[in-house]
Amino acid sequence: MIFKLITMMLVSGFDGFLLKQDTTTIELSEVDAFVHSIPSEFREGYIAKASQFEKDIYTVLNVNLVFDYLEKSDLLTQVAADQSIVENDFKDKIDQNFIDKLGYTVDEFNQILKAFDRKKQYVVGFQHYIYNQIDDAAADELAEEYYKVNRVKYIKPKSMDLSQISFSKEKFSKEKVTEILNYIGTDSKERFTEMAVAHSSDPSVKSNKGELGTYKENLYKGHVGKEIFMIDELGMHSHILQDKENYYLVYINGINPQDTIPFDDVKVELRDSIKQNMADKKFNNIMSSISNKEIEVNIEQLATITERYLDNTINDTQ
């Protein structure tokens, strides 16, 4: 047998369908449509991958379950009005070798592809429909509650626009770095840049001339970073910083203090996330309710699957 189903009842004597769950069926032609959608270069050996084929069969079944649910619930018209359900044509994309082996004409298989594509559009459309039915005001209230409980997530750390010169301890003594610091003076950015280009051991100095750009406090690691972010004045820092390998001179171009992101700045993003979570939960609950019946497998149809696709591997799309 090609695949195993956890809750499965084998039946024979049923024509047309491959699987049946309650009143929802999978026609063999729909499996043909799904396999045809796999790029031709990936069809080789596809049918031998039992676990993948089983997942794909369930995918087809779920598409049909949702479409039948919409039909029974009179929701097809509402979903179509809420979303753009279109009729696609596949004649120019049909793999002629594929349909020749299965015995379809181009027109026949085009209709099969169009019908299955329409069902898939309704599944996606239904998910968007559920999302659009969720009240924005209710989601806004939940978003604000989430923001208040998780306020720490919306704190912007202190950041600084930095320029820095690194002096390798192998080449520079602290006395020499002190001379350079005195040469730069208290607020001479021009001299700072001159010394950075002339002496910095940081290879990036060739392109950035010592300009590091803006760093957030939580991204500048090590004790040197901690010392830098204790500075609260703009301009040339009057002290030499150091670690095991280097001495550092630092010029502070700008300081952005720690701040809290206002709720209004994240309201839309939070609302959309909450609505999506609510929509996903509702969709999953519907799927659970409509897919909990025993599955019937048509063993006569199932027996033809391997032979049906085994030789239908790599073919050029016409």
pLDDT tens string 229-244? 899 999 999 999 999 9
Q: Is the distance from CB of 88 to CB of 114 less than 8 angstroms?
A: yes
- Average of per-residue pLDDT across 35-52: 79
For residue range 297-315, list pLDDT tens digits in order. Answer: 888 777 777 777 776 544 4
DSSP β-bridge partners for residue 104: none
Confidence at residue 5, expressed as pLDDT on a 0 to 100 scale = 44
Q: Is the distance from CB of 75 to CB of 126 less than 8 angstroms?
A: yes
Helix (H, G, I), strand (E, B) or coil at 291: coil
The answer to whether residue 26 scores a pLDDT higher than 80 is: yes
- Average of per-residue pLDDT across 44-64: 83
Confidence at residue 311, expressed as pLDDT on a 0 to 100 scale = 62
Confidence tier at 41 by pLDDT (50, 70, 90) = confident
The whole-chain average pLDDT of the chain stands at 88
Helix (H, G, I), strand (E, B) or coil at 190: helix
- Helices 28-37 + 106-133 axis angle, to 10: 80
- Average of per-residue pLDDT across 68-97: 93
Q: What is the percentage of the chain residues whose pLDDT exceeds 90?
A: 64
Helix (H, G, I), strand (E, B) or coil at 84: coil
User: Could you tell me where the beta strands, DSSP code E, fall in the chain?
Assistant: 8-11, 17-21, 24-27, 155-156, 159-168, 211-216, 235-236, 241-242, 246-256, 259-260, 295-298
Single-letter amino acid code for the residue at 252: I
Q: How far is CA 9 from CA 19, 31, 56, 63, in A?
A: 10, 19, 19, 21
Q: Is the distance from CB of 15 to CB of 299 less than 8 angstroms?
A: no
Q: Is the distance from CB of 98 to CB of 149 less than 8 angstroms?
A: no
The answer to whether residue 172 scores a pLDDT higher than 90 is: yes
Q: Is the distance from CB of 161 to CB of 231 less than 8 angstroms?
A: no
Look at the alpha carbons of 147, 150, 153, 154 in this order and tell me if their dihedral is positive or negative. Answer: positive
Confidence at residue 314, expressed as pLDDT on a 0 to 100 scale = 41
Single-letter amino acid code for the residue at 255: I
Confidence at residue 114, expressed as pLDDT on a 0 to 100 scale = 97
- Average of per-residue pLDDT across 164-187: 92
The answer to whether residue 147 scores a pLDDT higher than 80 is: yes
DSSP β-bridge partners for residue 297: 10, 19
Q: What are phi and psi of 233, to 5 degrees?
A: -125, 145
Q: How far is CA 284 from CA 102, 160, 294, in A?
A: 35, 46, 18
Confidence at residue 7, expressed as pLDDT on a 0 to 100 scale = 42
